[in-house]
Chains A and B, each alone.
Chain A
Amino acid sequence: MDRWLENVIAVSPDNCAIIEKSYESMFADKLWVHDLIRNELGKLGIADKLYVCEHHVSHAASAFYPSPFNEAAILTMDGVGEWATTTIGYGKNKEIEILEQISYPHSLGLLYSAFTFFCGFKVNFGEYKLMGLAPYGEPIYANLIKEKLIDIRDDGSFRLNLDYFSFTNKSVMTDEAFEKLFDTPRRLPEEQITRKYMDIAASIQVVTEEVVLGLARHARKITGCKNLVLAGGIALNCVANGRVLKDKVFENIWIQPAAGDAGGALGAALYATYHLSDIPRTVESTDSQRGTYLGPKYSVEEIEIFLKNNKYPYRVYEEKELYHQIARYLADNKVIGLLNGRMEFGPRALGGRSIIANPMSEEMQSKLNLKIKFRESFRPFAPAVLRERVADYFELDTDSPYMLLVAPVREEIRETNDTYGEKYTGDDQIDMLQVIKRKRSTIPAVTHVDYSARIQTVDSERNPYFYRIIKSFEKITGCGVVVNTSFNVRGEPIVCTPDDAYRCFMRTDMDVLVMENCVLLKEEQKPLENDESWRNTYELD
């Protein structure tokens, strides 16, 4: 409330919009959120003291405590917490200390969100789309952004020029000043994406990477640590993470897979645990996040009861046969929905609730985007690769179990006849599909236009089931990689239950659904009844 009132005062007398927009949510919701928490906990039979953990300390705790480090520099970056938008901290054993911070309204998260809004995507949801769009453009506005919008110091600290932003006094992120600066109106959602917006996306991505790198270097300097942990929404910018890794600012990096505010819940719980109890902190050599498979799970028995009750045709495979069968479907270019074990905690599907496919197919990216996910054609897909083979395909030889690092596809597997660049000069209306369908490597479905890939390494310890599927696929095809995307369609949450999974399977062009040992083929299913209007259920993201 203090920050909100300070904001109201700071933009006086032009504070009507901000009062109108936020008054009710402040006084009716946010101030009483503890009532809601107490009520919900009461229903679970829990009635105890309620502790509140500072927003960025929650992020810091979510990054440090589950990490494999006893000592680390901690960098958190997001839109805004109470006041902090960026913090640099130091963690050792059970203690966390915030050393320095940057405060609202100067926020890297809000800067990135302003560009997300300007490029026609939804704030707080579409930031990853902006990141995915960036490689299609050239960063020709990066200097303009640094001249006019953000002042970056050599030590990585920064300040926004509020003359160009409207989040402090309006209900939108940007207005006429932004449009004038870039000499173009804000792109409206679902409008065609022209080269201009691709260049703008590329430019803000480059600036973001520069700031993150500067912050990381400063964190190294003031902590002296060789390990870095990251959290906060900006830590989901895996391209920036890849830059920090490549720059070797730190010897080791660990990123909280639920780096956004959801992960704050985990961090707050861990912080309270270590400060209100005598429970010792145990540092595990991989990490303590358990592959981030922390959600609900369903047994084979539960799944079979669901399938039998609904009379859905399926077959059950013995374990050894199952992996081989799934691999054969993949090799035949079938698209498979996978529900296995516990659901992932965090925004990335990592083999628990995933759609998987053959990465060697040239048609797969556009097929998955347009017929399975119903999403924008430009968006890339991620590879899930056997840990021991990651260096065969990518310029990376470290664990990336949470799909939070981006690295280039190795030159040896790139297509030499790729004419990347020619289509991008002076042509405002790029034929996106033509660009996407161009084969760039031996694994085209997971090679982005700039040869980058957002990598998930899969090992037999964190997810043996998923590992064995890829291993079987490798035996048949020689390829140790599969396409891995979240099991949902655009705008919907990722599926959780067998019922969610079955509905999503039936509503799309997916060919096969695998739930633990149970396999369902689309061709054997009856269409869902009275399901014509399902796409109106969720707002597009």
Chain B
Amino acid sequence: MKIRSPKIILIIIILLLTIMPFFWLKPGEMDLGGDGGRLYFYDPVNQIKNLALYNRCAFGIGTIDSPFSYLPFIGILAIIKTIVTSSYILICFHNALKLAVGFLAVYAIVKQFIGGFNKNNSLGVELASMIAGLFYLSTPAMTENYVKAIATHDQVFLNPLMFYLLLRFALSGKMKYMWIALIVGLVFSVSFSYMGAPSFFAFYPLAFIFILFYGTFIRHVKFPWRKLLLTFVWFFGLHAFHLIPEASDLFTFGSNSNTRMFNIESITSQIGYFYAILHIPKTSFYLFSYSLTRFLGQVAFVVPLIVVLGLIFNKKKEKTMLLVFVFFLVTFFFVTGKVTVVGIKIYEWFFHVPGFSMFRNFYGQWQFVYYFFYSLLFGLAFYSVISRIKSRIFLKCLFLFLVIFFTISSWQFINGSLVNPFREDANGVKAAIIMDPNYENTLKFIRSMPDDGKILVLPFSDSYMQVIHGLNNGVYVGHSTIGQLTGKNDFAGYQGIFPYSDTFWQLSKEKNYKAIKKMFGILNIHYIFYNSDTRIYDTAFPGRPYSPNYVRKFMPPDQAGYKEYIGNLSSEKIFESGFYSVYKLEDKSSLPHFYTAQNILFYKDDPKLTGYGKTLAFFKGNIPERPVYIESQNCKKLFKQEFCREDSNFPMTDSPKIQFEKINPTKYKLTVSNANNPYILVFSEAFHSNWKIYAGVAKEKNTFFGKDIFETFSLNSISNDRHFIANGYANGWYIKPQDLGGKQEYELIIEMTGQRIFYVSLIFSGIIFIIFVLRGIIFFDIIKKRKK
């Protein structure tokens, strides 16, 4: 091969990287599964409606969540999908973006670095920069996480891209680089959200310090602090729509994020987790170049050897390389976690720093940063070595050898077998699915069902996963789809049905269908979705997510057993299409989303029970009609002490009649009549102190965003003292007639106030975005005029 121009090689590499992902999947196939779920590629519009717009989870009991950072990315996907119509193209394009931009950015950074100290040997500069980019693409962080990639996997191209833009900004002081970085950052907001915090804090502080040192001590440029400050202001303005709700959640006592960040017990458990997984990362593994091809194991030696030789040949003591090397060593320490016993102790100490517990899965979170700096180091070391080589033929041969090595060692990744593999946990099925139209019809039907009532997904899984077999031999195994795509909360597995998980399994094992129906009532489950496909439960998945030692021990062992199980719970099949059917549960056992309690039952919490088994403390024996279970500590706050004897039942007669209407998933309207006495109102949605009741007439109707979204601002809510956890998870309010001025007929508004924070933040971000775009247009226009 004769290298006429390195630019041609560069263009060929970029073209290949862009085209490659389109061959990983067959047209129509989609890789949607995984822990994080990637259903936004399949149905972005419904994902926005049900997942990204509300301060509440679309799964299970509806815990409070702030998924707003998904909004820009899914919004753009929705727009692109109206043009290209194919989810397959969206997925391929997204993968191509990761590859091509990741490569190009690393290439550009290394070129920038070498260009900073060497203006000659342009061939060597080009080859070293390309080699660094290719090495970056061949690292495990890049090759191993494409299948079922979570949203923050975008860091594989965002990290180098943002680094490059910040570097150019630091060296030139030009705001255009930051303008591009801000726009890119806004589109991929998830990587800058609470969800993306581990990847963000692993990379950006180090990247910033590096660039600061590089600019100040090596390139001797004055760092544009003022402009950087302005960039931060823009950043917080543009990202306010998700950062403010997330911050509010973080500082709300008892929230998931608050507990994880500040709870000392939680920190102890994070340290325990750190030690439990410490044996997994191997220091040697991270030093050697990783090869997916076994017989190339010997050649993996080449990369660290080139690095060592590069350091030896670095006669001029080129500082850039030294600086990169320092950062390489720092990230090596973080990714391996066990550089000497002292190192381990220091690492443990870091966990006491608030927020560091986000790195408990340290090797997974630091690997992207580590391989980024390794790639830069490798590029510089390679240049250091080849700058000693006088023979151009030898230089080209060495380049070719490394290109071939990286290509062969990543061959499984290149040919797509790593991106769409046969599932390890299943028999002969792949990860990419062609969606069954029958399932799509079922989703359409579920969307048309009444608002009230949640859905139980059967077969039931170990966790929160749902399994759907495609028209091809691909299977979706991921976060339950029904809640995300229809807006009806669903319970797909053990973790999803928290805190009734153990109770449900126990009752199912005992075949106590009467109690199961009562439990469904308390959870507001009105429907059963059943997938009768024998491939998913009887043949393809003998293990996870239907493990024989877990879910199958309690739930029916096969599809025939499930048919019998469902027959005992419901006889009313209201929909069927292919393998998929929907059953309605009997009305008499169902409880609506809002109900007034007829029987109050008190219980004492058993601290020995885990969160998943908490309800075993009270859900037993005969369950009366319209019950509400109250923990005795809560009872003492609400009622007189003598009233709160454990295992006692107090009937509440003369409860008022209520009717309710859903305005949106975070706001409901309630009409109450005949409220002569105090009563307990139960709202079967996960307890959160931000759920508030206001006395007033709701004007807003079935909308996400209207002129009346702030109508409750001027209203007084019912005292927080009478808001308690009902039935082990739900919201309960003890309402007295004097709360409503002694009225017997009135209207109430129940609202999740966290959603209002989102509205305010969204309006703020929207205004900032408009100013930002206008500023950008003026800015780029001025540049054009200046050029003229």
Are A and B bound to each other?
A: no
